[in-house]
Structure 1
Amino acid sequence: MNVTKIKFGTDGWRSIIGEDYTTQNVARVSEAVAVWLLENYDLPSVVLGHDCRFGGELFLQTAAKVFVKNGIAVKYAKGFVSTPMVSLGAVRYEASLGIVFTASHNPPGYNGYKLKAHYGGPLSPAKVQEIEDGIPDHANEYRDFTWEEVLETGLASSVDLEREYIDTVRNAFDLEAIQKSGVRLAFDAMYGAGQNVVRQILPDTKELHCEHNPSFKGQAPEPIAKNLQELSAFIKASKSIDCALATDGDADRIGLYDAKGEFVDSHHIILLLIHYLVKYKGMTGKVVTAFSCTPRIERMCKHYGLDHETVKIGFKYIAGIMVDEDVLLGGEESGGIAVKGHIPERDGIWMGLIIWEFMAKSGKTLDDLIEEVYEIVGAFKFERSDLYITEELKQTIIANCKANKYTSFGKYQVQRVETTDGFKFFFDDDRWLMIRPSGTEPVLRTYAEAPTLEEVREILRICEETITH
């Protein structure tokens, strides 16, 4: 019998439900986690939560059985919860680990297994590797153990992680100021695990896709423009929304829309957050961003006298620095952002609330605030295009990048290349293109920035033409 080799990627282990993502394989991973916990902690404990996907409760209970069999205390969320809720829960309950059964923004057929450290952020890559190296070929301990028997041991108890998260939000934000400001808001949960939060804290907010639908209507719950057409159309049709927030399947990533129904990318969001936290709230600290982010973040950091560091893609690299250093903001191009004063974890709703509070307190529109950012870093546009190509072609393109085969893309001459994580081709100070294989999906990602959207799309088109022919 072939044993599936389980590998943790950029952000946890993810696989297709019923193929590799089975109770047996979830139990194998949990067995490795249990052994690791017992080696590293005198009295280990875990906080468990699952998102809205198929089988969430089944997979959570499977893992809980393995932990309880190993004498490990379990606190589990009843019903679906977001990743930030579990990360916050790990801190609140002083757990050794938080575990989230989620495939985040992946298509509906997937599920996954995320490991969160005691500090409420991704477990370090070295420790994840230790667990991965210990995954056994089989795990049968859970099969003859009923859920009733698990509860009878007294080692497992339920906790209300959503309630605790909402209470934390209420204490951190001036929700009254947002309510009274007259700012008209919308929230698209993409059928994800953040769907219950906004209606409880800001009940006047218009809602889209805030009901339980494990198939996400067949749509990958990733908050990028091509997946949020309904939200954009809703804003344009209603003409009465000032800003809209969207979050992904496990609500750790943010998508944002302006009053015109136009997508506001993560680079702009990161710049807005730094601008607000420093200029308006008087906060300081280092800024850490992933390799795929705009160089304009560095420009803004220089403007405000902040240290800036670029790291490889994967929020775990940012979280590690946030735990050890005084970090104001850590962020990725894909919508995962964390800020000082909260856990070292991506949190889409939290970031959206900062922007909404910024609008409410300043009395300015989102466009006005973006103009303030442009005054510091210059106007720009950005877009990402995912190329679904054969593995063979993907490897050829990466080999060509490594061999410096691409010295120009059409009329765009490459001035320099950065290779921290992928290949970033700079044409001048305001234009660049990046090529990188995804760490979680079978795609080649291409990214571009330029002063206008037309030019961004032209660069992406020329890039695809150049590398696929």
Structure 2
Amino acid sequence: MTKIKFGTDGWRAIIAEDYTVENVKRVAAGTAIWMKANEAAQVVIGHDARFGGELFAHTTTRVMGAYGMKVKLAKGFVSTPMVSLGVVKTGSDLGVVITASHNPPSYNGFKLKSKLGGPMIPAQVAEVESHIPDTFDRALPTLQEMEAQGLLEYVDLEQIYVDHVTDSFDLESIRNADFKIAYDAMYGAGQNALRRLLPDAVLLHCDYNPSFMGQAPEPIHRNLSELSALIKNDPSIGLGLANDGDADRIGMYDEDGNFVDSHHILLLLLLYMHEYKKQTGKVVVTFSVTEKMQELAKQFGLDIEVTKIGFKYIAEIMAQEPVLVGGEESGGLAVSGHIPERDGIWIGLTIMEFMAKSGKSIKALIHEVYDRVGSFAYDRDDLHLTEAKKQSIIKQCQEGSLKAFGPYQVERVEDIDGFKFYFGGSRWVMIRPSGTEPVLRVYAQAPEHGEVRQILDATHKALLG
């Protein structure tokens, strides 16, 4: 019996090792038991483009049927935001997405979505986890039997999503703008919706390939060299957009093929939503996001809150009070006027609309941000270490024995979630173990890209010798 634990964003495991049909049955059973205990009766279920998605979604559906739950089951692969929106639009109590998001292709996973259309709050996830049985041996109905009993209905979540986007954006201004858009789906679940919404976009990796050609579908610069090269070789392309495997995260490129990280996108979103659209609300960011967001929020007179890493902490606040912009360093971003959920396509369209309405390039808009908070650069390294070495480094951080990284002297440390070492002058490095992978993440910020690399290299030397 494998003990199943939910991480930063759901349960994830390697297919055929711990991620098996039997273990998916157990997790689905824990979810159904939680639903019964909370008088929930209807669940939306969908899967992304990963290997085995349909099998595991059907397995989850049949377990729900065994507990008498009504299921709205997606047709074909869908993005995580499509399931989240589907929960709201169908008046359901819960959403389940079979996805491992940006993890390598050998993984699959199980995400839980609340009736509000965002991640289930951590306390409820812990309750579901506590209900997961050690074994599962109930007889399961077939999908056909569930349909006959009125427990199963197939829904077109992609159409629901496309209709919602069409009602919410000025797509004509985006389609008629004087720049082309390049889109890299990374073989993920956003490919069909984006093709429908922006039929003239230049498309990359927009076909069904559960192996992702061996590449983890995470929209960070080192995984997007083809998109960058495409933009550099085509002057008519004004923006590059990429999404991860379940299309809730975003990667972006300017007209020169330079990567635009999530910190800069968050600043652009805040500028557009408040200064241009005249909207207001709270700003919520995770611990790894640049402090420039705090500077801009203060200039606008907006409250800002910093949370632990994980979009679920942002979603919990979004469920309780009006949030204008929320986001995390890893590309999960949200704005008001949508569900309390990160959505890579939605955020991409928001930036495109900003460009189209302002008549400015993304580079020009970033300089508008710099005029307010100063320029900066950022990068992140992922260190694949033994568990023993990872724990040794975390112990050093906890004990406060790291006073300098090469020439960079530590002025102060914050430890909301991981450890952020400030050097002064908009320079910092942050160290944190991943919540979903056997990885130690090292984040850095400095005024220029070259110095970011120097900080990262100095940190590696200090940690690894």
| TM-score bucket (shorter structure) | over 0.9
Match of residue 357 from structure 1: 353
Match of residue 126 from structure 1: 123
User: Which amino acid in the other structure matches residue 309 of structure 1?
Assistant: E
- Say if 1:88 and 1:120, in contact at 8 Å, map to a contact too: yes
- Taking the aligned partners of 2:177 and 2:256, their CA distance within structure 1 comes to 19
TM-score of the aligned structures, taking structure 2 as reference length: 0.99
TM-score of the aligned structures, taking structure 1 as reference length: 0.98
Alignment partner of 2:375: what SS? coil
- In the alignment, does 2:297 pair up with 1:301? yes
Selected match of 2:339 from 325, 343, 347: 343
Match of residue 381 from structure 1: 377
- Say if 1:423 and 1:436, in contact at 8 Å, map to a contact too: yes
CA offsets 1:58-81 (integer angstroms, 9 cap, x no match):
111111111111111000001000
- In the alignment, does 2:187 pair up with 1:191? yes
- Say if 2:253 and 2:260, in contact at 8 Å, map to a contact too: yes
Match of residue 44 from structure 1: 41
Q: How does 1:250-399 map to 2 (within 5 A)?
A: 250-399=246-395
Deviation at 1:150, TM superposition (A): 2.7
Deviation at 1:95, TM superposition (A): 0.9
- In the alignment, does 2:77 pair up with 1:60? no
Deviation at 1:141, TM superposition (A): 2.1
CA offsets 1:307-351 (integer angstroms, 9 cap, x no match):
000000011110000010111011000000111110000000000
User: Which amino acid in the other structure matches residue 73 of structure 1?
Assistant: K
Match of residue 77 from structure 1: 74
- Taking the aligned partners of 1:275 and 1:210, their CA distance within structure 2 comes to 31
- In the alignment, does 2:100 pair up with 1:106? no
- Taking the aligned partners of 2:224 and 2:139, their CA distance within structure 1 comes to 40
CA offsets 1:268-305 (integer angstroms, 9 cap, x no match):
00000000111110000010000000000000001111
- Taking the aligned partners of 1:100 and 1:278, their CA distance within structure 2 comes to 32
Alignment partner of 1:238: what SS? coil
User: Which amino acid in the other structure matches residue 36 of structure 1?
Assistant: W
RMSD, matched Cα: 0.9
CA offsets 1:349-374 (integer angstroms, 9 cap, x no match):
00000100011111111110000000
- Taking the aligned partners of 1:40 and 1:389, their CA distance within structure 2 comes to 41
Deviation at 1:142, TM superposition (A): 4.6
CA offsets 1:154-183 (integer angstroms, 9 cap, x no match):
210100000000000001100001111222
Q: How does 1:430-445 map to 2 (within 5 A)?
A: 430-445=426-441
- Taking the aligned partners of 1:253 and 1:173, their CA distance within structure 2 comes to 19
CA offsets 1:120-150 (integer angstroms, 9 cap, x no match):
001011111011011111112255x333223
Alignment partner of 1:428: what SS? coil
- Taking the aligned partners of 2:60 and 2:139, their CA distance within structure 1 comes to 8
Deviation at 1:239, TM superposition (A): 2.8
- Say if 2:143 and 2:152, in contact at 8 Å, map to a contact too: no
Greater CA drift, 130-139 or 98-107: 130-139
- Say if 2:187 and 2:208, in contact at 8 Å, map to a contact too: yes
Alignment partner of 2:231: what SS? helix
Match of residue 15 from structure 1: 13
- Say if 2:88 and 2:116, in contact at 8 Å, map to a contact too: yes
Deviation at 1:445, TM superposition (A): 0.3
- Say if 1:65 and 1:142, in contact at 8 Å, map to a contact too: no
- Taking the aligned partners of 2:2 and 2:75, their CA distance within structure 1 comes to 30
Deviation at 1:429, TM superposition (A): 3.4
Alignment partner of 1:118: what SS? coil
Structure 1: which 5+ runs fail to align? none
- Taking the aligned partners of 1:323 and 1:76, their CA distance within structure 2 comes to 25
Match of residue 241 from structure 1: 237
Structure 1 residue ranges, 4+ long, deviating more than 6 angstroms after superposition:
none
Selected match of 2:135 from 119, 123, 138: 138
Alignment partner of 1:196: what SS? helix
- In the alignment, does 2:214 pair up with 1:218? yes
User: Which amino acid in the other structure matches residue 57 of structure 2?
Assistant: L
Match of residue 468 from structure 1: 464
Greater CA drift, 326-335 or 133-142: 133-142
- Taking the aligned partners of 1:142 and 1:380, their CA distance within structure 2 comes to 58
- Taking the aligned partners of 2:415 and 2:139, their CA distance within structure 1 comes to 45
- Taking the aligned partners of 1:86 and 1:429, their CA distance within structure 2 comes to 43
- Say if 1:285 and 1:307, in contact at 8 Å, map to a contact too: yes
- Taking the aligned partners of 1:274 and 1:429, their CA distance within structure 2 comes to 23
- In the alignment, does 2:409 pair up with 1:413? yes
- Taking the aligned partners of 2:89 and 2:107, their CA distance within structure 1 comes to 29
Alignment partner of 1:242: what SS? strand
Mark the CA change 1:461 to 1:76 in structure 2 (over 3 Å): closer, same or farther.
same
